[in-house]
C-alpha cells in the first residue's frame, strides 16, 4: 500500500508541505509565473475562469488576476485581461458567497451566464432522461451542467482569444472528482499538485476571507442534494486525502477507499483511447 501511495503522489505531482510563509509566497510567485508563461506561449491575452464561490475557484481567480495585472504593469501589454464567469443554474443556493468571491478577486470583467435554459433545452431535445430514476436523472443532469459550464467558458474564451483556466488540484484529481470534458476540460490548471489544505493556505495568503478559505467544499451539481459536501461523495475526508497524498499515515480503510477510487477513475485522467 505504501508503494501505491508514493506512486500516486508522483503521478499527481504532489508538492511537499509548505515549511513557512516564505515558501508559501514563493509558491504563489511560481504559479503566477506559470500562468503568465502560458499566456505568452499561446499568444493569447485573456484568461477565462468560472467562479463558484468555493476556495478553489477563488484561489485560482486571485492568481489569474495577479498574473494579468503584473503583465500590464511590466509593460507587456495593456490588453491582458482576466474574465470571471458566474455560471448559476437558475438560483445558486450560495449566491452570497459566489458574489463575495468575485468582490475579493476584483476581476477585470465579470460575466454571468445562467445555465438553466440551455441545460433544460438539451434535456428536452435528447429525451434521454425521461425514464431514469430520480437519483440517476439527478446524476446525469449534474454532469450535463458541468459540461455546459465549460461550453459557456470556451464560447467566451474563443470570442475574446483567450484561455480557459481550470481549478483541479491533487486532492480532487486522486478521487476523479470532476466531470470528464466538463470542469476537467481547460487549457491550464494552476493548482496542479496541491492538496486541499495547501489551496486554503494559498487562498489565505492571497487575501481571501476566512468565510471562503474554510467553506465546506461542494460541487453543487445535484438538485436532490443542493450543496452536497464533497467529502460525503468521496466517502473519506479531505484531511485523510491530503495526508495520503503527502505520504503520511492514514487508516487502512481510508487508504483503500482512496486507492480504489483512483483506480476506478483512471479513465478521467487519460487522453482518449487510440487504436
Question: Active-site residue numbers?
Answer: 56, 172
Contact by Cβ (8 Å): 183, 167: yes
Torsion (CA) 224, 167, 97, 108 in degrees, nearest 10: -140
**Which one-letter DSSP state was computed for residue 271?**
P
Q: Where are the alpha helices (DSSP H) in 207-251?
A: 210-213, 230-234, 238-245
Q: What is the three-state SS of 32-93?
A: HHHHHHHHHHHCCCEEEEEECCCHHHHHHHHHHHHHHHHHHHCCCCCCCEEEEEECCCCCCC
Alpha-carbon gap, residue 47 to 157, rounded angstroms: 7
- All 3 cell numbers of residue 187? 487549457
Q: What is the three-state SS of 170-192?
A: HHHHCCCCCCCCCCCCCCECCCC
Bridge partners of 165, per DSSP, are 188
Amino acid at each position: 500500500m505504501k508503494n501505491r501511495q508514493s506512486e500516486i503522489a508522483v503521478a499527481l505531482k504532489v508538492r511537499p508541505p509548505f515549511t513557512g510563509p516564505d515558501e508559501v509566497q514563493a509558491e504563489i510567485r511560481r504559479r503566477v509565473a506559470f500562468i503568465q508563461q502560458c499566456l505568452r506561449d499561446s499568444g493569447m491575452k485573456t484568461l477565462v475562469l468560472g467562479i463558484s464561490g468555493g476556495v478553489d475557484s477563488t484561489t485560482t481567480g486571485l492568481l489569474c488576476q495577479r498574473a494579468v495585472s503584473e503583465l500590464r504593469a511590466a509593460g507587456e501589454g495593456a490588453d491582458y485581461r482576466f474574465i470571471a464567469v458566474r455560471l448559476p443554474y437558475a438560483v445558486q443556493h450560495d449566491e452570497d458567497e459566489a458574489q463575495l468571491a468575485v468582490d475579493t478577486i476584483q476581476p477585470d470583467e465579470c460575466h454571468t451566464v445562467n445555465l438553466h435554459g440551455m441545460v433544460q433545452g438539451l434535456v428536452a431535445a435528447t429525451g434521454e432522461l425521461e425514464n431514469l430514476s430520480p437519483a440517476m436523472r439527478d446524476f446525469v443532469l449534474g454532469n450535463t451542467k458541468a459540461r455546459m459550464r465549460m461550453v459557456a467558458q470556451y464560447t467566451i474564451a474563443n470570442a475574446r482569444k483567450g484561455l480557459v483556466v481550470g481549478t483541479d488540484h491533487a486532492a480532487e484529481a486522486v478521487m476523479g472528482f470532476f466531470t470528464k470534458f466538463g470542469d476537467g476540460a481547460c487549457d491550464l490548471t494552476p493548482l496542479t499538485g496541491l492538496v486541499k489544505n495547501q489551496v486554503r493556505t494559498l487562498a489565505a495568503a492571497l487575501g481571501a476571507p476566512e468565510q471562503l478559505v474554510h467553506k465546506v467544499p461542494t460541487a453543487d451539481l445535484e438538485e436532490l442534494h443542493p450543496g452536497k459536501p464533497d467529502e460525503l461523495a468521496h466517502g473519506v475526508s479531505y484531511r485523510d486525502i491530503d495526508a495520503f497524498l503527502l505520504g503520511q499515515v492514514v487508516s487502512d480503510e481510508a487508504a483503500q477507499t482512496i486507492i480504489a477510487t483512483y483506480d476506478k477513475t483512471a479513465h478521467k485522467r487519460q487522453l482518449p483511447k487510440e487504436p
